[in-house]
Structure formats: structure tokens, C-alpha cells
Amino acid sequence: MRKSRNAPLLFLIFIITIQLISVLGFGIFKNKDFTRSPINTSNMEFLSFNPLKDISSNGIGTTPVLKNKESVFDDSIGNFLKSLPKFSNENQKKLKIIILFEETTDKTKRLELVSSLFETYNIISNYDLIPGTYIEVNPYELLSKESILEGISDIKRIYKSKIFESPYILEDSLQLNAMDEDSYVNWWVEAVGAEGLPYDGSGVKVAVIDTGIYAHPGLNIEANRNFVFNESASNYNDDVGHGTHVAGIVGGDGSGSQGLYKGIAPGVSLINARAGNNSGLLEGDIVSAIEWSSKPVRLEGAGADIISMSFGGGYPYISDVITQAISNAKNDYNVIFVVNGLNY
């Protein structure tokens, strides 16, 4: 049987007819159930999208924000807020947070934004050293404002003011080291190579950010201030003992022990920046202590050349706000930091 010459043409007409039926919506397949295989888009490249469908905005000085943007809350505060009971409690303990703003957001605007956001709040510190504001808020109100906070372009991140482990002394009595074979006085000075140096730290200011410093006769304390939240700024005495212990290592002159116990640099002037107690040291209080200690005296700071921070421990944790405070103090005021702990 011979093939018709019109077969290709008839086939083409058939294909076009089927396409027209699909496009024009004729009801031939109306009651049929066709199951389509899922389309594999893994190798497809999408060239454009409609941003109006993928962004949201609000009305108080905000800019559009992608819905899948990282939360404005850091992990610790996010986890804390998720664990809150479903029903708000008027007696809920206030939460201390640090709002980190963009560098271009000045101090006045920070306060204006905080005031426009929260009904109940307490300003603890509006920092100069970092673009941040340390405040106390109701956690339920904070949680309710999450979507609004994420739409404010001036806000970079919000942190829970974490508590660093309080330093403490295990033994009250001085223990001799194996290096002290002859029990000679001030053996530790020679042990670290500080014996017989032509300088003793005179003219240098060392700030000790710790649990305070007791007014010991062997310590030359030039300035004192307390930064522990809800404590008086003038209550800077050491009720733990660790801060005095550190200060003695740094700059004890031995006058309180008839020369038996000297520090490494007995000529230094000490700055007492109390930032913690038996309960620990709050992150926001530490930043306040760094700011005051490092700022020059002409800017109402203590003018430290060196800052000692010996606290923390346990699971390592990197603090963004403390790291930024340290970097800015170093860059702006040429301060040297000496840190002894696991959390930096």
C-alpha cells in the first residue's frame, strides 16, 4: 500500500488543532484527570522575580525587608523568647538587651527609636564606644515587636545581655609553687622575668574590670566606679576578692606586707572598674566598664593605657558587642587589652 503524499500535512493539521483546543479552553478534557509529572527545576535559571510579592514593610521609618531575612534577634535572645509561657505575665522579670545600630545612627536617634517602639523600658546606657543602646524591656513586648524591629533599617542586631561567670578564688591562703625552692620573697616576679627591670610601670594606668578592688594600702588606686546594674556607682568595693587579687598581681607595691608581696609592676596607677559580683558579670555592664576605662580623662573617662579582664569560663562564647568595644577602644584610644579567660 502506497503512503499518501498528504500524510505529513494531515499530521501537522492534527497537531495544530490539539494546540488550539488547549489554548482556547474547549471542554474536551474537562472531565478527564490527567496527572502531570513534577517539573524538575534544579537546572533552570530564574532571571527575574516580582519583589512586591516577596517583601513586607511597615509605617514607622522603615524600609522593605525580605521575608526570609535573618532574624533581628541573636540566637540566645531568640531562644529565650521562644521559651516564654504563652500567656504574658505582668510580673515577668524584665529583660536586659543591647540594641546594636548602624554606625551612622547617632545617639539621639537611637533614643527616639527606642521611645517609639516600647511602652515600658529603662535606658541603662547609650554607648559612645559602640553604636549601641543598653536597655531593660518587657520580654513579651519585645517579642510582639519582632516584625517591626526587623523592618527598621537603623537596627543591625539585638542581643540578650548575657552573664559571664563570676571569677573567684579557690583558696584563701597563699600556696607556694614548686618554683619557690628557697622560699624567697616575691619569687613570682623573677618567675615571669620581671626582676631587675629598669622600669616598674610608673606613669602607666591599668584598669581592672572585675569584681572591684578593695582599698588596700599596697595598691595605688587612682579612680573607682561601679557599673553593676542596680548597684550604686559609688559602691565599688570588692565583695568577692578576685578583683583585688588581680590588682595585687598587677601593681601591689608590697607596703601592706612589709615588702613580702609585690606585684609585677608596683609603680602603676590602678583603675577600679567594678562590673560584676557573686552573680557574675553582665555583658552590657562590661561594655560600659570598657567605655569608661578607655576614654580619656578629658572625655570624662579614666584614661587607661591597659585594661585587664579576667573572668568568664566554661563553654567558649564570642561576644560581638564586647569584641567591637575592644576593637574600638584599641583603634580610638590606643588601649592595650590583657584578657585571661575562655570566652574571648
Q: What is the CATH number of the domain that holds 242?
A: 3.40.50.200
Is 45 among the domain residues? Answer: no
**Total number of domains in the chain:** 2
Site of grid cell 587579687: 245
Residue 91 has a pLDDT of: 64
Contact 65, 151 (CB under 8 A): yes
Contact 96, 136 (CB under 8 A): yes
Contact 269, 220 (CB under 8 A): yes
Is 303 among the domain residues? Answer: yes
Do 121 and 246 reside in the same domain of the chain?
no
| pLDDT tens by residue, 117-147 | 999 999 999 999 999 999 999 999 999 999 9
55-56 vs 65-66, strand pairing mode:
antiparallel
Q: Is the pLDDT of residue 265 over 70?
A: yes
Residue 229 has a pLDDT of: 93
Q: What is the mean pLDDT of the chain?
A: 80
Do 212 and 261 reside in the same domain of the chain?
yes
Residue 20 has a pLDDT of: 38
Pick the more confident residue, 91 or 35: 91
Grid cell in block for residue 112: 527616639
Q: CA 261 to CA 125: how far, in whole Å? A: 39
The winner for highest mean pLDDT among 50-54, 88-92, 106-110, 193-197 is 106-110
Range of 102's domain? 56-161
Residue 180 has a pLDDT of: 54
Do 157 and 238 reside in the same domain of the chain?
no
- For 181-252, list the strands marked E by DSSP: 205-210, 221-226
Name the pLDDT band for 70 (thresholds 50, 70, 90). Answer: confident
Share of the chain above pLDDT 70, in %: 71
Residue 52 has a pLDDT of: 35
Share of the chain above pLDDT 90, in %: 57
Q: Which of 162, 49, 147 is nearest to 98 (CA)?
A: 162
Residue 55 burial (C-beta neighbours within 10 Å; 0-12, 13-18, 19+)? middle
Is 209 among the domain residues? Answer: yes
Is 308 among the domain residues? Answer: yes
Q: Is the pLDDT of residue 294 over 50?
A: yes
| pLDDT tens by residue, 6-20 | 444 444 434 444 443
Name the pLDDT band for 85 (thresholds 50, 70, 90). Answer: confident
